[in-house]
């Protein structure tokens, strides 16, 4: 059952391991002597592109769904998958980079099939070592 309050949704989101951040390698970039930012430098999905494509289907939306979800990929993600965390993935498989592009839905939309959560967990397990090394390197960079 979906969370009923924003507080419950936030707490659920904090505990979910499947989120866009989890699938990126990060690097600390120094801006100047006192300032730095952490950037996503690579998505670990690049090597799983073909497997991911197998889990994508094209769907047609009703007129009411087009109105409801235009510019709202997070709402669509929440309504379908029970979490907003798949919104960046939905944008990506539709060749979009932000919610401002999430329109034209009357022409159909690519969405994941029911196996996507299991697949994402599988990728996280397979890439656990790579992600751990990257996070350790980032922590070292932050501490210096």
**pLDDT tens profile 106-120:** 999 999 998 998 999
- Number of helices (H), then strands (E), in the chain: 7, 4
Question: How much is the pLDDT for 13?
Answer: 54
Cα gap 78→68, rounded to integer Å: 13
pLDDT, residue 6, reads 61
Please report which residue ranges of 3-58 form alpha helices under DSSP H.
Answer: 6-15, 49-53
Predicted confidence (pLDDT) at residue 11 exceeds the cutoff of 70: no
- Whether residue 38 contacts residue 26, with contact meaning beta carbons closer than 8 Å, is answered with yes
pLDDT digits (tens, 9 = 90+) for 15-72: 556 777 888 899 999 888 888 899 988 888 888 989 999 999 999 999 999 999 999 9
Give the residue, 101 or 41, on which the prediction is more confident.
101
Q: What is the pLDDT of residue 3?
A: 54
């Amino acid at each position: 059952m979906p969370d009923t309050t924003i507080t419950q949704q936030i707490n659920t989101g904090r505990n979910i391991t499947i989120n866009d951040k989890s699938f990126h390698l990060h690097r600390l970039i120094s801006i100047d002597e006192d300032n730095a930012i952490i950037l996503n430098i690579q998505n670990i999905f690049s090597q799983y592109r073909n497997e991911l494509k197998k889990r994508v289907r094209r769907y047609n939306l009703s007129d009411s769904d087009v109105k409801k979800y235009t510019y709202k990929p997070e709402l669509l993600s929440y309504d379908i998958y029970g979490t907003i965390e798949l919104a960046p993935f939905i944008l990506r498989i539709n060749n979009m980079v932000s919610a401002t592009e999430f329109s034209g839905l009357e022409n159909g939309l690519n969405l994941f099939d029911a196996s996507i959560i299991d697949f994402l967990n599988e990728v996280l397990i397979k890439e656990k070592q790579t992600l751990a090394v990257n996070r350790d390197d980032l922590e070292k960079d932050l501490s210096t």
